[in-house]
Structure formats: structure tokens, C-alpha cells
Structure 1
Amino acid sequence: MKSRHSFWSRAIAVIFLVAMSLSPAISAADPATPNFVVFLVDDLGYMDIGANNPNCFYETPNIDRLSESAMRFTDGYAANPVCSPTRYSMMTGKYPTRAGATNFFSGKRSGTFNPAPLTSHMPLDEITIAQTLKQRGYGTFFAGKWHLGESEEYFPQNRGFDVNVGGHTGGGPYTGKRYFAPFQNPQIEVESPDGDHLPDRLSRDAASYIEANKDSPFLVYLSFYSVHTPLMGRPDLVKKYQAKAAAIEGVEFGEEEQVLGNSPRKVRVLQKHAVYAAMVEAMDQAVGKVLKQLVESGVADNTVVVFTSDNGGLSTSEGLPTSNLPLRGGKGWVYEGGIREPWIIRYPGVTNPGSVSKQPICSIDLFPTIAAAAGIEFDHLVDGVDLRPALEGRSLDRKSLFWHYPHYSNQGGIPGGAIREGDYKLVERYEDGRVHLYDLASDIGEATDLASEMPDRVAQMRDRLHAWYQSVDAKFLQPKDGAVPWQPAFRETLEN
């Protein structure tokens, strides 16, 4: 067992060193060229880490310590309630609606109506953050879930990454023995020994890359397959949480609205799922391994670390493994449970340890923030903003954030859009055009609809949402079996 570990570790190290030798040399100690480590966790809910939830059932000590050394955002968002669109936004800095990439690739489920047309890849003419940094002399490493295209031309190694470990078309670890080796992943060149655990494998490769590239600037983008289904945990951790769960009493499930039928949909309201908890802790341990390597390689003080998720926790389908309460809904919903994410950013010399920001931020902001930190100017369109003012404790100059999900998710979420301005959030339903208004400051669970009480605010926010639809050429639900869905009034103009 030990010799096999040594073999693939040496092989991976050789690949990393070759990649490093092909990049222009820039000193990683130069504060004008900080390193970047991005942790993107799949399906992790806002309430799934201890830093956001003092009563969290799952144990995340490494993430919590990162939060203590960084800035934690209470109002951080994904650009979409499912994975591929958010991943697109993080790579490009754009709202995924601009490319028609509005659902996971390639989710085309119908409901009462047919879904909007879907682009099932990140277009090849998009400029990624990896390409941008690579032109500046950065080494670029990707590991884990990609899910941004159906063939190799769209894979990380062709979108700006020098190294790709495991990123391909798959939306989950669906090859081999899933989360346990042999993985049989088509983009993992050197197989792990039997029984190796995928999050640990990916973190070891990331750590090896950091050590090999510590003398030049790098981007390490660790995009976990965890904690996406299939629900599979390390036996030792599952046993631990089974014992912990046995001591917890209370109602585990409640009811949520059902878009695809008349009966209510089941939703988890109590964190108690032992296997999911095991997956969360294993992911946390993997994060800890990479953070430790930054220290051991002597680059922690010149490395910007970002931790976030691609959509809300899975609470209404596929095993209902987690609860997002007090947030409503979960993955697949434009309610807060589907789009509000853990966001932690450590920027040495900029962020104060243990600081907390209530500034609304979004995955579209990753590209411009990293580019600005690296001193890179770009002249193409992005929708996000540089987060440095917020990281310094100031306000961002942005009025609105937008969401657009014209699809039927298997999680039961409504096809709909949303706009947030200040503490107010307007949700618009695409089947019939109904709108709801919530004051998130006093109603984080989106339980009290204020639309009838505040018609002027509704009209103003809806006008701005519709103007945004036009600016990004948003597509909407399509007719089915003679039934015609609601369409914004400007739709005819767009199509002509």
C-alpha cells in the first residue's frame, strides 16, 4: 500500500514540475502577485459549517479556523441554485444567463411547461480566470468536479489550467467505486490504491502542487465532488455520527411547496444524517490538509484563500441529507436555502482575522477580485465587482443582485427569478408571473410575503429585474401541449 502511494505521488510531482517549468518565473513572495487557493464545495449549504451555525450537527474545525483567520460573509450567494451555472460564473465573472447556461449540464426536465433553451457548456470564447492568471505567469491547477462541458475541448486543461486532476463532464463521482478507489475517473492519470478516499486524494494532489510551485505564483482551484450524491461516507466517520445522531431527538422532516404536483414536498428540518455528516467532515479534513501545506511551504502569508459552495444544501430530494433552516428551500430553489452560500475569504494584509461582513456578494465576484489582487487589468465585460472594498470593511458600490432559473429542478424548486436590493428580495414565478416580496432583515425564512403591502417597491424592483432580463437576453419557459406559460411583456421585442 505504501509503495503504491509513493509511486503515484512521485508521478504527479513530476507532472507538476514539468508544468511549473513551462510558466514564466515570477516570485511568489511579491505581494503584487499573491497566490490563490479556491475551495469550491459541491452542494454544501450555508448552515452546514460551524462558522455559520453554532448548532451545526456536522463538525468542520478546519473551515471554522479558516473563518477565524479571515473574513466571513453572512450574505454571500451563488449565481444560480444549481451547479454548472455557478461554476460558469466563478470562471468568467458573468451571470450565466448571458450564455444561456441556466441549469446544470444538461438538465432539461419538463413540468407544466417546457424549460427554457439550455446551453450545455461554457462557450470556448469565454475568458476564464485561469487563462487570465496564466497570461500573467501563474501556474494553474484544477482538481475535482468541473461539469462545464460535454467533451474534452471544454475540460480544464483546455480552459487555462496547466494541470487537471479529475475534472470532466460528470456532475458527480459516478465512475468506478464513486468516492472510493479505484475511481476510474477519465481525467485522473494515476489511479489511487484501492480504498483511497476521493476528497483526500484531491487534497493530496493540491498540496503536492503547492509544494512544487511555492517559488512562483499559482492558482490552486480545488473543486470538491463532495458533498454531492451519491451519499457515501468513510465507515469510521459514519459510525461516529450514527452515535451522535442517536442522541438527537426531534422532528426530522417538514413540508415545502410542490411545483410538480399538488401534494406538499418533504423537506429536512433537522440536521441528523450520519452519512452526509461523514462526507462534510471528510471534506473539512481535506481543506485542512491544503491549508497546512500552505504553512509548511512558507506561502500562507502571500496566499488569498477563498472558500464557498456552488448552490444550497440538498434538502428536498435525493435522500434529503441536510437542513438549511432557518433558510427556506435548498438546492434547486431561488429561495435563500438554494442560493445563499458559505463565503470565507482570507486575504493577508487586507482582511482582519475573525471579521464578519454583511455585504451581499456573489460568485460572479470571484473573477474581478482575483484579477484585481493579481494586478491584472482586463477590458472584456464582467458582471461581478472587485470585493476589496468589502474585504477592507467598506461597502460595495452595487445596487442589485439577480437570479434567473427557468427550469424544473428535480429538487422541486420553482422556475423563477429573483432580485435583491438592500434587505429586500423579490421572487418572480415563471409559470404564472406571480411575485413575492420579502424583507430578509426580519424574515430570513421568507415566510411573510409583503408584496400586497408594498406595491410601489414591488413595481420598482420588478422593473429593474425585467430590465436585467433584457440586458442578458434571458430565455423563459416554453409552451407544452398547447399550454402557454407567462412571459415578460418585453419578450416579443427580444425575439424580433
Structure 2
Amino acid sequence: MKRRDFFKCLGAFGAVCLSPEFSLSENSAENFSKPNIVLMHIDDLGWADVGYKAPHNYYETPNIDALKQSGMEFNNGYAAAALCSPTRAALMTGRYPARTGVTNFISRPNVTENPEGYISSPSMEYKTPKRYQFMELEEITIPEILAPAGYDTYHLGKWHLGTSDPYTPDKQGFEVQMMGECHRDYFDPYDCDSLPDRKEGEYLTDRLTDEAENLMRSSIDNGKPFFLHLAHHAVHTPIRARQDYIDYFKAKPKPSGWEHLDPVHAAMIKSVDDSVGDIISKIDDLGIADNTFVIFTSDNGGHQPVADNTPLREGKRWPYEGGIREPWLFRWDGVIPAGSVCEYPICSIDVLPTVCDFAGANLPSGVDIDGVSITSLLKNQQQIPERDMFWYFPHYISDYTGEIAPFAVIRSGKWKMIRWYDSDKPSELYNLEEDLSETNDCASLYPDKVLDFELRIENWIMEVDAKRPLKNENYDDGRPGKENVFIG
């Protein structure tokens, strides 16, 4: 069933009209058996930005730390990309960014057709695919699956998968959306049609949290399960925070060796932590903790130089662990063992199949879903087979440390290989069990493994029909290529 036909069906019969592709499994026929689902998706929050991971005590995240203790942490959890938009597309669809076409960040409004073709200049060794400016409507999202199953669907905060109609969250399955089409400042007035101004000077993170609490209450009062996607803009640039929190962290002594940490960044993290605490408290106050599945994660690594991802290497935009390894926490009282840790590697693509599994909603047929359900791991029942995971960025991009060439990455067990599309940069191989900071490139010691991983990457590229960087016949010198981009 095509997406547009699916919505014709909904328009004629409402939420009770279920296509066979979206029918409910037998064990979830009644609303009371469907868990509420809260997905807290933070922007640019690095692996080391949370208290239980940070190698210092400057950041304060007591509520996030408490969430870890009340549920399960996945210590090898990843974003599907080192940038915002590709990860968000993967999260919503369960598909690798290379399948959706959203492989770089989305930047331009009022675009009605995604560009085809390649970018090329004499300074670029490879021609690179032009980047999408919205996620295609044919992609089927989590709310589009859950709404026909009787769920209220709410999006609050950053969308970054299209800023103009019809590519906003309300056109991709969300019954209610706030702030999905705009973000101009962290303080009221917000200048956003979907989030009316309320109190001048109000902080956006606080406002979105307040709205989320009201929506949860509304669904419970109406006897309906809900899917809440709370996608805070924090801690993305511009680095702006509440003044009282800034003053607090300016006055707080910084640990020796960590004098470079930014008090405004710390203040933004604290506001996110407040939000987590408020949401969990509201779930508890509503008496729904035993029927609410909570997910907490981020879209990419911390943005250097404001963030410090130590002990991980580099950060946002880079294929190293600092760019893609994220905090991943799950809570469901009575279902997920409290205080547990799982070492199985997971990724943003696993959210959709896991949510559908818990909700009793079948995956859409005729769609290649790359993620896997991790429900058996969350319930601590059984292991699931190991698998290779892939990352793919077929573009040049600038970072404060220089230019980053196109790359492909495979993680297989303890091994991770980075393949660069750059004749001056050979593939890099790391044993993450022994070298989490990726300081010891083992490629020269294991040439057969490098070759094997090169072949696996090639096979995967063909499988997902990824757009490849192409050798540039007009390349005339050894300068690194770049696109003029400095935001993500």
C-alpha cells in the first residue's frame, strides 16, 4: 500500500480503518494493553554530556542518572548518523539514511522537489550527491503506524526533516505538532505559528516540557494511549540558556583539567535534565509508569568545541565514536529490569521495530526496515543475533578542525572500520573493546579483515541502493574538497 492510499483509507473511515499492512497483532486488541510511548530525543547531546558518563562532575544530570537507574542502559548505543537530519529520518522510519536519501542535514525551506545529480568542483576529489531538503512523504513513520492503532500522536520540538508544507510533522502522522517547522530562538517570543507566544523570556525547553505534560494528561483523561516525541532543540547552537542556570555554573568551580568547559552549555544540559525529571514525574503522578515505555537518546555526538566528548574521539560530523555513540536509556516499570546494562550494539533504526513490537502493531509490508526489535533484550529474556551496522556519509563537510571527506563505516562485533573516499586517507580499523578512544589503527595488522569489511560495505551500498561519491575527472590538485556548510 502506498502512503497516499493509506491516508485515503484513514480519511474515509478514521482511525478504525486498518489496512492489512498496519493491522494489530492479536495480543494488543484492546487499548488498555497498548503502552504509552515517550521518546525523548535530545539535539547534539554527546555520550559524555550526561553525569553517569562524564569524566568530570561539572555537568549535573541527576534526573537522567535516575532514569538510568530505573531502567536499562545500552552502553553500545549509536545514532544512525553523525548529523541531525539523517538520524531523525532513521529514527522515524527504521531505515538507514542511505535508503531514505536523507544523508546530510536539511537546510533550505520552501523546497518542493529534492535535487538530483552531483556537486563538483576542481578542488573536490569526488563528486558528491546533492543533498535532500526534506524526507519524502512516501516514507512511513512511527506515528503513521501507531495512529491507526488508536494512539494519540504528538510531536514537540525539532523536526529537521522538512520545514515547509507539506513536509512538516503533521503531514507525517502526528496529530499535534508544536515547533516542528521553525526554531528561531530559545526564548519567548518564539515567532512560530504552532507554538504561540505565552510569556516573554520563557525558555523553550521549559515550554515544550509543559506542553508535553498537558498532552499526556489529555490522552489519559480520554482513555487513549499516546506516542509522544519530545525532541528538544537543546543543546544545539545557538548556545543560550536560562540566566539563573548560567550564573550557577559560572560560580561552580571547574575540575582541574576541565577549565575549558562552557557554563552556558552546562546550563542547557541542566534544563534538558529538568525536562527529563518533569516528564518522568508526570508519568508517575498519572499512575501510568507500569504501562509507559520511555526512550531517551540523542541525534549525534556533542558539537565541538563547546562539547568535550572525552574519552571518545572527535564529535558531531565525524565517523569516530564521539560523533555517533550516544546515551541510550529505556524505562518501563515492571517490564524492563531497573538498573540493568546491555552491551548489545543498537542504533536509531531499531526504535521503530521495537516500538511497533511493544505496541502490537505490525511493520508495513513491502518496506525494507533495517532496524531490529530489541524487546527481548529490554525484557532481559534472550539475546538476539549479532549483526553488522553501517554508517554512510557521501558528502564533504567542514568542521572547526578542518574538512571531513566522505566516508562509510562498518561495526561488526568488537571491530569498527572507517573507509574514506580520499586517496590520501586509507581505511582505519579499530578494536573498540580495547581501544574505545580509537587511537590505535590496526588496519596494517589485519589486511584480510580490512578487505573483508571493504567487501561488506560494498555489498551493503548495493543492497540499500545508496548514492555513491564518484571520482571527479576534473580534480586537479590535492586540496581537500568541501561544501560551504557550517551548521548541522
TM-score normalized by structure 1? 0.83
Q: Verify: 1:127 aligned to 2:128, yes or no.
A: no
Residue 409 of structure 2 corresponds to which residue in structure 1?
A: 418
Displaced runs of 4+ in structure 1, greater than 4 A?
26-31, 107-111, 478-481
Rounded to whole Å, the distance in 1 between the matches of 2:390 and 2:477 is 21
Partner letter of residue 350 of structure 1?
Answer: V
Residues 289 and 332 in structure 2, CA contact (< 8 A), matched pair in contact too: no
Residue 298 of structure 1 corresponds to which residue in structure 2?
A: 287
Residue 196 of structure 1 corresponds to which residue in structure 2?
A: 202
Residues 100 and 117 in structure 1, CA contact (< 8 A), matched pair in contact too: no
Written as runs of structure 1 = structure 2, the 5 A alignment for 1:339-354 is: 339-354=324-339
Gaps of 5+ in 2: 1-13, 17-23, 109-118, 479-488
Structure 1 residue 251: Cα displacement:
6.5
Structure 1 residue 340: Cα displacement:
0.3
Rounded to whole Å, the distance in 2 between the matches of 1:109 and 1:299 is 54
| Bigger shift: residues 112-121 or 423-432 | 112-121
Picking from 442, 447, 470, the partner of 2:439 is 447
Q: Verify: 1:44 aligned to 2:45, yes or no.
A: yes
Residue 112 of structure 1 corresponds to which residue in structure 2?
A: 124
SS in 2 for 1:46: coil
Residue 342 of structure 2 corresponds to which residue in structure 1?
A: 357
The CA deviation string for residues 87-131 of structure 1, in whole angstroms up to 9 with x for no partner, is 000100000101221000149898734432322211111110001
Q: Verify: 1:69 aligned to 2:56, yes or no.
A: no
Structure 1 residue 141: Cα displacement:
0.5
Residue 187 of structure 1 corresponds to which residue in structure 2?
A: 194
SS in 1 for 2:278: helix
Residues 130 and 161 in structure 1, CA contact (< 8 A), matched pair in contact too: yes
The CA deviation string for residues 316-351 of structure 1, in whole angstroms up to 9 with x for no partner, is xxxx21100110010000100000001001133331
Residues 431 and 477 in structure 1, CA contact (< 8 A), matched pair in contact too: no
Rounded to whole Å, the distance in 2 between the matches of 1:240 and 1:28 is 50
Gaps of 5+ in 1: 1-21, 253-269, 487-496
Q: Verify: 1:142 aligned to 2:133, yes or no.
A: no
**Cα distance, 1:467–1:197 mapped onto 2, change above 3 Å:** same
Residue 403 of structure 1 corresponds to which residue in structure 2?
A: 391
Q: Verify: 1:388 aligned to 2:367, yes or no.
A: no
Rounded to whole Å, the distance in 1 between the matches of 2:301 and 2:294 is 21
Residues 81 and 391 in structure 2, CA contact (< 8 A), matched pair in contact too: yes
| Bigger shift: residues 399-408 or 137-146 | 399-408
Q: Verify: 1:157 aligned to 2:157, yes or no.
A: no
Residues 143 and 206 in structure 1, CA contact (< 8 A), matched pair in contact too: yes
Structure 1 residue 392: Cα displacement:
2.9
Residues 430 and 476 in structure 1, CA contact (< 8 A), matched pair in contact too: no
Structure 1 residue 47: Cα displacement:
0.6
Structure 1 residue 300: Cα displacement:
1.6
Structure 1 residue 306: Cα displacement:
0.1
Partner letter of residue 181 of structure 1?
Answer: D
Q: Verify: 1:373 aligned to 2:358, yes or no.
A: yes
Rounded to whole Å, the distance in 1 between the matches of 2:205 and 2:187 is 9
Rounded to whole Å, the distance in 2 between the matches of 1:206 and 1:28 is 26
The CA deviation string for residues 382-430 of structure 1, in whole angstroms up to 9 with x for no partner, is 0000011221334322320000012223324442110000010000001
Residues 209 and 278 in structure 2, CA contact (< 8 A), matched pair in contact too: yes
Q: Verify: 1:207 aligned to 2:213, yes or no.
A: yes
Rounded to whole Å, the distance in 2 between the matches of 1:485 and 1:348 is 59
Say how many residue pairs are matched.
Answer: 435
Rounded to whole Å, the distance in 2 between the matches of 1:61 and 1:482 is 55
Partner letter of residue 483 of structure 1?
Answer: Y
Residue 56 of structure 2 corresponds to which residue in structure 1?
A: 55
Rounded to whole Å, the distance in 2 between the matches of 1:341 and 1:92 is 19
Rounded to whole Å, the distance in 2 between the matches of 1:480 and 1:281 is 47
Rounded to whole Å, the distance in 2 between the matches of 1:485 and 1:140 is 52
Residue 4 of structure 2 corresponds to which residue in structure 1?
A: none
Partner letter of residue 202 of structure 2?
Answer: D
Residue 238 of structure 1 corresponds to which residue in structure 2?
A: 246
Task: Report percent identity of matched pairs.
Answer: 40
Structure 1 residue 29: Cα displacement:
9.1
Residues 100 and 139 in structure 2, CA contact (< 8 A), matched pair in contact too: no
Partner letter of residue 459 of structure 1?
Answer: L
Rounded to whole Å, the distance in 1 between the matches of 2:75 and 2:476 is 39
Residues 36 and 225 in structure 2, CA contact (< 8 A), matched pair in contact too: yes
The CA deviation string for residues 208-237 of structure 1, in whole angstroms up to 9 with x for no partner, is 000111121000100000000001111111
Residues 90 and 367 in structure 1, CA contact (< 8 A), matched pair in contact too: yes
Q: Verify: 1:100 aligned to 2:89, yes or no.
A: no
Q: Verify: 1:218 aligned to 2:226, yes or no.
A: yes
SS in 2 for 1:207: helix
SS in 2 for 1:341: coil
SS in 2 for 1:466: helix
| Bigger shift: residues 82-91 or 386-395 | 386-395
Residues 478 and 484 in structure 1, CA contact (< 8 A), matched pair in contact too: no
Rounded to whole Å, the distance in 2 between the matches of 1:34 and 1:94 is 23
Residue 449 of structure 2 corresponds to which residue in structure 1?
A: 457
**Cα distance, 1:204–1:441 mapped onto 2, change above 3 Å:** same
Structure 1 residue 290: Cα displacement:
1.3
SS in 1 for 2:129: coil
Structure 1 residue 477: Cα displacement:
2.9
Residues 120 and 472 in structure 2, CA contact (< 8 A), matched pair in contact too: no
Picking from 472, 477, 492, the partner of 2:469 is 477
Partner letter of residue 167 of structure 2?
Answer: Y
Residues 183 and 192 in structure 1, CA contact (< 8 A), matched pair in contact too: no
